[in-house]
Amino acid sequence: MDLMDESTPLARELVSETRRREKLRGRVLPRPPQTRIMTVSNQKGGVGKTTTTVNLAAALATAGQNVLVIDMDPQGNASTALGIDHRAEVESIYDVLIDDLPLADVVAPCPDISNLVCAPATIHLAGAEIELVSLVAREQRLSRALSAYAAERERRGLERLDYIFIDCPPSLGLLTVNAFVAAREVLIPIQCEYYALEGLSQLLKNIEMIQKHLNADLVVSTILLTMYDGRTNLAAQVAAEVREHFPEQVLNAVVPRSVRVSEAPSYQQTVITYDRSSTGALSYLEAAAEIAQRA
């Protein structure tokens, strides 16, 4: 491939992707010293929160890490992408938050990836915002459930989890507040389009409020640029602006617009298992490796 004529854009792209794959091949990702709990959040919809959650989780799990995905979005798209049953009658994260059902009774294994489990969301979660209002310690219910689950895994002799990803709805209700209180890190996907930074300042203010009153350990650790279209100047400008404002948090890996990434959920798969050789999968594998190196 190094001998290929790089004079055409397609040839240059193929050479670049080959080199990126070679860099990843055989790399062993370090396990974090303790479980990393990451809330994937952005109040703006359609920026790739769920896509980022499931593909980073899949990338890390296929690299040997033990990963849990918690689907906190009533739409249940993360559950769909991981091939997890989330019909109305299935016990779900709703039962954990509202009825104190142990998380161990809810998590289900991803059929395609051995190290990946998921706590699914059902349509009942849509009413949880209202039901949580009157409950004791309403903001800490997910955090307590995770602590109990970690203790249960230890009691049963299971390996500790390396990563927990919490997929949030695009709003700041009690479901998202529970996710912020349970997590230590916030991962923000940002779409490389005109409105990318709109609403981000409000999200950061809300995170500051959580830090002040409910979870002093919470930090914005990671920002991932998604839906990047290298053919437009706008995408490059947005990416440069985000990197200028958040130089430490923004990953070098950038996720492009990708048909394969969009197709994968319709087959109840992540792009990592659907087409691991695709550009989208390569980008998420690079992002996952970068996150692991930052542990």
Here the CATH number for the domain that contains residue 57 is 3.40.50.300
Place of tokens 């996150």: 291
Two structure tokens written together for 29: 């990702």
Contact 270, 81 (CB under 8 A): yes
pLDDT in tens, 119-133: 999 999 999 999 999
Whether residue 187 contacts residue 39, with contact meaning beta carbons closer than 8 Å, is answered with yes
Total domains in the fold of the chain: 1
Does the residue 256 lie in any domain? Answer: yes
Assess if residue 19 is contained within a domain.
no
Specify if 282 maps to a domain. yes
Q: Are strands 219-228 and 250-256 parallel, antiparallel or unpaired?
A: parallel
- E strand or H helix at 65: none
3 located within any domain: no
CA angle at 34 for the pair 184 and 56, rounded to the nearest 5°: 65
* 90 Cβ neighbours under 8 A, 6+ residues apart: 120, 122
User: Domain for residue 164, yes or no?
Assistant: yes
pLDDT computed for residue 1 by the predictor: 45
Residue 7 in any domain: the answer is no
- For residue 3, the one-letter residue type is L
Residue 18, in any domain of the structure: no
Residue 156: give the domain boundaries: 32-294
Is residue 195 a part of any domain in this protein?
Answer: yes
Residues 95-151 have pLDDT tens digits of 999 999 999 999 999 999 999 999 999 999 999 999 999 999 999 999 999 999 999
Rounded Cα distance, 159 and 161, in Å: 6
Rounded to two decimals, the pTM is: 0.92
